[in-house]
């Protein structure tokens, strides 16, 4: 009987150790789970921190590139006024003399006054009657200054000018000067003469 009591007495510490081990295992598992959760949060927080730092770095770089100096304007861009100077030429357009010099003079005047410049060439029959529709098209487009070079073109413009007093006419190589008409002679200095005439006509109508 005493032997059995000793066996029971010896079994109780073993059971206690088993229960203690179970509790430790449970605590261990809880600690591991907690660490895993914290590690996930840490990774998420670290990822968020990296994203924020990256955004700050990019912003800093962009801000460091900005300064208070005004931007360099594009030299190709030109702001034009609402004044239009239009050239009426023969079938060769602005490729041959004297139309080429007239066109270059108009471009010089455009750079000085910022007026828009354009040209139209009379196609088909080179006559006064055929030049009139092309001239009328210019006037319908509200050309403020009309230049004409070439026999039929100058004749058509000379006939039409008295009916358009608000429009300035510059006749190259012919025609008669009038209230709203100026004439230029062919020869050396034509480009400069055209530029000056267009500038005067544009300023008078600005």
- Respond yes or no on whether the N-terminal peptide bond of residue 98 is cis (omega within 30° of 0): yes
Least reliable range by pLDDT among 43-57, 121-135, 173-187: 43-57
Least reliable range by pLDDT among 17-21, 71-75, 139-143, 199-203: 71-75
- Kindly tell me if the per-residue pLDDT of 35 is higher than 60: no
**pLDDT, mean of residues 121-129:** 96
Helix, strand, coil percentages (3-state) for the chain, rounded to 5, are: 60, 15, 30
DSSP for residue 189: T
More confident residue, 80 or 194: 194
- Kindly tell me if the per-residue pLDDT of 24 is higher than 90: no
Q: What is the pLDDT of residues 103-114, one digit of tens each?
A: 999 999 999 999
The full DSSP string for 113-177 is: H--EEEEEE--SS-SHHHHHHHHHHHHHTT-SEEEEESHHHHHHHHHHGGG-TTSEEEEESS---
pLDDT at site 12: 47
More confident residue, 202 or 64: 202
**Predicted confidence band at 66 (pLDDT cuts at 50, 70, 90)?**
very low
pLDDT at site 10: 44
pLDDT at site 205: 82
- Kindly tell me if the per-residue pLDDT of 51 is higher than 90: no
- pTM, entire model: 0.62
């Amino acid at each position: 009987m005493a032997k059995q009591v000793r066996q029971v007495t010896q079994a109780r510490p073993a059971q206690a150790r088993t229960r203690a081990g179970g509790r430790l295992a449970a605590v261990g598992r809880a600690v591991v789970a907690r660490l895993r959760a914290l590690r996930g949060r840490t990774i998420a927080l670290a990822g968020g921190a990296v994203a924020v730092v990256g955004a700050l770095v990019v912003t800093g770089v962009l801000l460091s590139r900005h300064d208070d100096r005004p931007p360099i304007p594009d030299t190709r861009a030109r702001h034009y006024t609402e004044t239009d100077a239009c050239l009426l030429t023969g079938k060769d357009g602005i490729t041959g003399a004297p139309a080429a010099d007239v066109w270059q003079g108009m471009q010089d005047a455009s750079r000085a006054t910022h007026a828009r410049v354009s040209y139209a060439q009379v196609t088909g029959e080179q006559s006064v009657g055929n030049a009139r529709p092309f001239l009328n098209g210019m006037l319908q487009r509200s050309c403020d200054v009309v230049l004409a070079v070439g026999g039929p073109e100058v004749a058509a413009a000379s006939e039409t000018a008295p009916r358009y007093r608000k429009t300035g006419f510059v006749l190259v190589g012919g025609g008669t000067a009038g209230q709203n008409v100026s004439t230029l002679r062919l020869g050396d200095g034509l480009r400069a003469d055209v530029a000056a005439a267009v500038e005067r006509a544009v300023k008078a109508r600005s």
